[in-house]
Chain A
Amino acid sequence: MNEAVIETQGLTKRYGDLTAVDDLNLRLQAGEVFGLLGPNGSGKTTTILMILGLTEPTAGTARVLGYDPLRHPLQVKRRVGYLPDSVGFYDELTARENLRYTARLNGIDRAEADRLIEQVMERMGLRDVVDRPVGTFSRGMRQRLGLGELLMKRAQIAILDEPTIGLDPEAAHEFLGMIRGLKADGITVLLSSHLLHQVQAVCDRVGLFRKGKMVLEGTFEALSERVLGGSYRINVEARRDGLERLLAAVPGVVRVTPVRGGRYLLEASRDCRSEVARRVVGEGGELLELTFERVSLDDVYARYFQEARGEA
């Protein structure tokens, strides 16, 4: 088993009567992408701040690469890159100047910093705007600048708080690709989000937060299995072969697997049963069966919280 790069034991944070994080035991292996998932106010940001040593836990301990963030904050912060949920830069300074400041704070000398800045700005697709004031940057550009900063300081761990919030779908998609790039570099990633499909797209494991507690944790499959018993799966029995092309053309259908005897298994990105039914019937097929299993993190999440509310 790999060694843990982030480990918390009984980590707890209280604000007065409110327990923001409750007895959290978290373990991240080197090189994995872990998603903290939970509704607003469930304690994701608080957890992150405690891991970084920016907030003192009420109880419990955290270890980051073997260091205690409270006792050795500098060691931890040298090795961990943090992208806050609404990352800000000095608007009147250019991207380059902003990064130079960070580099100086990290003790990186000027020549090295300039070399690194070129490198990461190229990678983040910001090379052409590196000498523009950050005030003129879009939200997506700022996010990428933040990620570039993290790469520049050669962080071993990247902690990203709601990294795609406020990004348009395309920018979010692009950004997720960059997060996968971090993983390819061997950087361990801890990200928080409530945008489930995005978490699902990049995370190896997720932890579901509710009222400060991590109520579920594991790979996506394991969670789906546990909560729902097993992306949308639609079984179609049409008693006709050769409908693959027709079914594949239905908006939302990702893959069509013919089973046999006029049966098909569809994998879809959304519930498109009615459209499937319409087309099959329109083609003159006999629709004998149309069953459907919803499997997505959204559902895991929704189902889980539904049940939890029901219990309460």
Chain B
Amino acid sequence: MKREGSPWTGLWAVVLKEYADHLSSVRMRILEGLILVVAVATVYAAAQSLRQTVGEDPFIYLKLLTTSQDPLPSFVAFMGFLIPLTGIALAFDAVNGEYNRRTMSRLLAQPIYRDAVLMGKFVAGLLTMATTLLGLWLLVTGLGILRLGVIPEAREVGRGLFFLLATLAYGGVWMALAMLFSVTYRQPATSAMATLAVWLFFAVFWEIVVRLLSNVAALVVMRGGTENELALVQVQLFLSRLSPNTLYSETVLALLNPDVRALGPVLITQLEGAVRGTMLPLWQSLVLAWPQFTALIAAVILLFAYAYILFQRQEVRA
């Protein structure tokens, strides 16, 4: 049946309301405060250890993000778990919160489609995350200028922006998952726990699972030979790439380290002609990270689409 009017009628109204809510919510203040402290601490520490090499390193600003200084992990490593948390915090009560506040039926009785409600919430979440990340990036750059005394080059800014984009996609995955659970579970506490559980599973247990599975696979294909071994590594890699965390860390690895020329196992033959220590131009790093990056986006789209379908069919009554 053909519906009249655009499914996006009222989308902006929802986006603006949700965005304003996020910006003023205590939850986001806490997370932003945390991210701020982490950013300042890690970047400051990294700058400390990088001061000697200023001028030698053409990508010093990227090093700010990836250098870890004992006992602090790098900025990127911290982001790897603060961003999922942010994504989850932004969406775990997106839909069930409306039911619990009993605003859902009133909201849906306004001349808008459900599409606009779900999409509006998602876009507002992404906007909030983008705002935070952009602010963070400016802060890091500012700190860098202060501590290192050099202005970032265009190529660094370019990589930085793609890094932000990848981070946004990564956060988007967790946001979409949280939103999905907010549709399926009526209690925000349940949907928050469920999303956190999935995140924890991928952050901690997935590597273990992958190793176990590949050990099993190794038993099956015992009859050695490099070919089998290679196949095994590839299976392991494939499995590990089912985790958004792996996808993200590989994307970031390629984007923030211009000297990384391959992700995964490299055969010596593939390195033929490559000069050690040469840097890849941005577009080549992009090509390198492309599959991982698009996989992240695909995950966002799939999760969102699933949440969307479930939400469309849901009863209005709580």
Answer yes or no: are A and B bound together in one complex.
yes
Q: Which residues of A contact B (CB under 8 A)?
A: 45, 49, 52, 54-55, 70-75, 77-78, 80-84, 86-91, 101-102, 104-107, 146, 149, 153
- Not counting A70-B1, A106-B111, a sample of 15 additional A-B residue pairs whose C-beta atoms are within 8 angstroms of each other reads A49-B316, A49-B317, A54-B109, A71-B1, A71-B2, A71-B4, A74-B5, A81-B109, A84-B102, A88-B103, A90-B103, A91-B101, A104-B13, A105-B111, A105-B112
Contact yes or no, A146 B4, CB < 8 A? no
Could you give, for residues 109-120 of chain B, a 1 whenever the CB lies within 8 Å of some chain A CB and a 0 otherwise?
111110000000
Determine the distance from Cα of A183 to Cα of B1 in the docked complex, in whole angstroms: 35
Determine the distance from Cα of A52 to Cα of B13 in the docked complex, in whole angstroms: 21
Determine the distance from Cα of A156 to Cα of B206 in the docked complex, in whole angstroms: 57
Closest to B108 in A: A54
Determine the distance from Cα of A115 to Cα of B280 in the docked complex, in whole angstroms: 60
Q: 25 A-B contacts, Cβ less than 8 Å apart?
A: A49-B105, A49-B316, A52-B109, A54-B108, A54-B316, A55-B316, A71-B1, A71-B2, A71-B4, A73-B111, A74-B5, A77-B111, A84-B105, A88-B103, A88-B106, A90-B21, A90-B103, A91-B101, A101-B13, A102-B110, A104-B13, A105-B110, A105-B111, A107-B111, A149-B106
Give chain B residues whose Cβ lies under 8 Å from the Cβ of A75. Answer: 4, 111
Determine the distance from Cα of A105 to Cα of B315 in the docked complex, in whole angstroms: 21
Q: Which residues of B contact A (CB under 8 A)?
A: 1-5, 9-10, 13-14, 16-17, 21, 101-103, 105-113, 315-317
Known contacts A101-B13, A104-B16: does B317 contact A74 (CB below 8 Å)?
no
Known contacts A49-B316, A55-B315, A105-B10: does B111 contact A87 (CB below 8 Å)?
no
SS class, residues of chain B in contact with chain A = loop
Determine the distance from Cα of A105 to Cα of B112 in the docked complex, in whole angstroms: 7
**Pick from B3, B13, B105, B315: contact of A73, CB under 8 Å:** B3
Known contacts A70-B1, A101-B17: does B106 contact A106 (CB below 8 Å)?
no
Closest to A76 in B: B111
Contact yes or no, B103 A89, CB < 8 A? yes
Give chain A residues whose Cβ lies under 8 Å from the Cβ of B14. Answer: 105
Give chain A residues whose Cβ lies under 8 Å from the Cβ of B17. Answer: 101, 104
Contact yes or no, A90 B101, CB < 8 A? yes
Closest to B12 in A: A104
Contact yes or no, A84 B106, CB < 8 A? yes
Give chain B residues whose Cβ lies under 8 Å from the Cβ of A153. Answer: 110
Known contacts A106-B110, A107-B111: does B101 contact A74 (CB below 8 Å)?
no
B27 to chain A, nearest CB (A): 12
Determine the distance from Cα of A153 to Cα of B112 in the docked complex, in whole angstroms: 14
**Pick from A54, A104, A149: contact of B105, CB under 8 Å:** A54
Contact yes or no, B316 A74, CB < 8 A? no
Determine the distance from Cα of A149 to Cα of B110 in the docked complex, in whole angstroms: 11
Known contacts A55-B316, A104-B13: does B106 contact A87 (CB below 8 Å)?
yes
Known contacts A74-B5, A75-B4: does B101 contact A88 (CB below 8 Å)?
yes
Determine the distance from Cα of A87 to Cα of B9 in the docked complex, in whole angstroms: 23
Contact yes or no, B9 A146, CB < 8 A? no
Contact yes or no, A77 B109, CB < 8 A? yes
Give chain B residues whose Cβ lies under 8 Å from the Cβ of A107. Answer: 9-10, 111
Give chain B residues whose Cβ lies under 8 Å from the Cβ of A84. Answer: 102, 105-106, 109
Give chain A residues whose Cβ lies under 8 Å from the Cβ of B109. Answer: 52, 54, 77, 80-82, 84
Closest to B6 in A: A74
Give chain A residues whose Cβ lies under 8 Å from the Cβ of B110. Answer: 77, 102, 105-106, 153
**Pick from B9, B13, B16: contact of A74, CB under 8 Å:** B9
Known contacts A45-B317, A55-B315: does B106 contact A74 (CB below 8 Å)?
no
Give chain B residues whose Cβ lies under 8 Å from the Cβ of A89. Answer: 101, 103, 106
Determine the distance from Cα of A32 to Cα of B251 in the docked complex, in whole angstroms: 64
Determine the distance from Cα of A87 to Cα of B103 in the docked complex, in whole angstroms: 7
Closest to B117 in A: A105
Contact yes or no, B103 A73, CB < 8 A? no
Determine the distance from Cα of A45 to Cα of B112 in the docked complex, in whole angstroms: 21
A168 to chain B, nearest CB (A): 20
